[in-house]
A and B are shown apart, each in its own frame.
Chain A
Amino acid sequence: MVPESYYLALSATLFSIGVVGVIIRRNPLVIFMSIELMLNAANLAFVAFGHRLGSNDGQALVFFVMAVAAAEVAVGLAIIVAIFRLRRRLSVDDLSLMRW
C-alpha cells in the first residue's frame, strides 16, 4: 500500500513545475498548459485526501474542477485568438497595456 503522503508530495512537485512554467515561458498557450498542470496537481491532492479520509467528496470536487477547467480553457483560448487577430504576434511581453 502506497501512503497518501507520497501522492501529496508528487502533487506538490507537479504544482511547483507548473508555477515555474507560468513564469519562465513567453508563449501564452504554454502558460495556459502550465495552469492546467497546476489544476491537475490540485485534483490529485483532492483524490489522495479523499482516499485517506474514506470519503467520496474529494472525487465530487475534482469533477467540478474539471468542468470549470473546461469552461476556462474555452474562454482563455478565445481571448488568445482575439489577441492574435489584433496584434499578429503572440508573446506575453507585448501585452503590457494594463501594466501599472
Chain B
Amino acid sequence: MPQLAFALIALITVGSALGLILKRNAIHGALFLVVNLGSVAALYLTLGAEFLAAAQVIVYAGAIMVLFVFAIMVLIPGKEETGPDPRRPWRLLALPAGGLLLVLVLAVVLGTRGPTPVGSPAPGGVEAIGRLLFGDYLFPFELTSVLLLAAMVGVLLLARRRAS
C-alpha cells in the first residue's frame, strides 16, 4: 500500500513538473507548479516530516506562488513565446543534455549504496525540529531573519520609481 501511494504521488509530481515546462502559457505553468509543490508536501508526509509538509503548503504553495501569479498577471507575458524562436535548434540541445544529466545522477543515486540506513527513525514531530532550530541552528536561524530584511530593503529599492 505505501508503494502504491508513492507511485501515485510520484506520477502526479513528475507530470505536473513536465506540465510546467511544456505549457506555453505562464499562468498554466504556475498552476502546475502549485500541484507539484502540493504533491511534494504529500511526499514529505510519507517520510514523516509533518512540519515541513505544512511549511511547504504555507510558504511555497501559499506565499511564493501568490507572488508568482501576481507578477504574471501584472506583466501579462505569454506573447513573447508565441513568435518564432530564432535559437530553436540550440534550445532543443537541452533535451539530450537533460537526459544525460538524469542518467548520470540516477547512476550515482541507484548505483552506490550510500550511507548505511539507521533502523530507528528520528524522534520526529514539531518539537524536535523546534529544539534543533533554536539550539544547534540558532545562529543560521537568526541570519535568516537578516537575509529576509535585506531582501525586503532590496526589493523596496528596486521597485522604487526614479524621481526624474
A→B interface (CB under 8 Å): 1-2, 4-10, 12-21, 23-27, 29-30, 32-34, 36-37, 40, 43-44, 47-57, 59-60, 62-64, 66-75, 77-82, 84, 89-91, 93
Residues in A neighbouring B102, C-beta threshold 8 A: 12-13, 16
Tell me whether A12 and B81 are in contact (CB under 8 A).
no
Residues in B neighbouring A63, C-beta threshold 8 A: 52, 55, 129, 133
B→A interface (CB under 8 Å): 2-3, 6, 10, 13-14, 17-18, 20-21, 26, 29-30, 33, 36-37, 40, 43-44, 46-49, 51-52, 55-56, 59-60, 63-64, 67-68, 71-72, 74-75, 77-78, 80-81, 85-87, 91-95, 97-99, 101-102, 105-106, 109-110, 114-115, 117-124, 128-129, 132-133, 136-137, 140-141, 144, 147-148, 150-152, 154-155, 158-159
Chain B's closest residue to A4 (CB) is B117
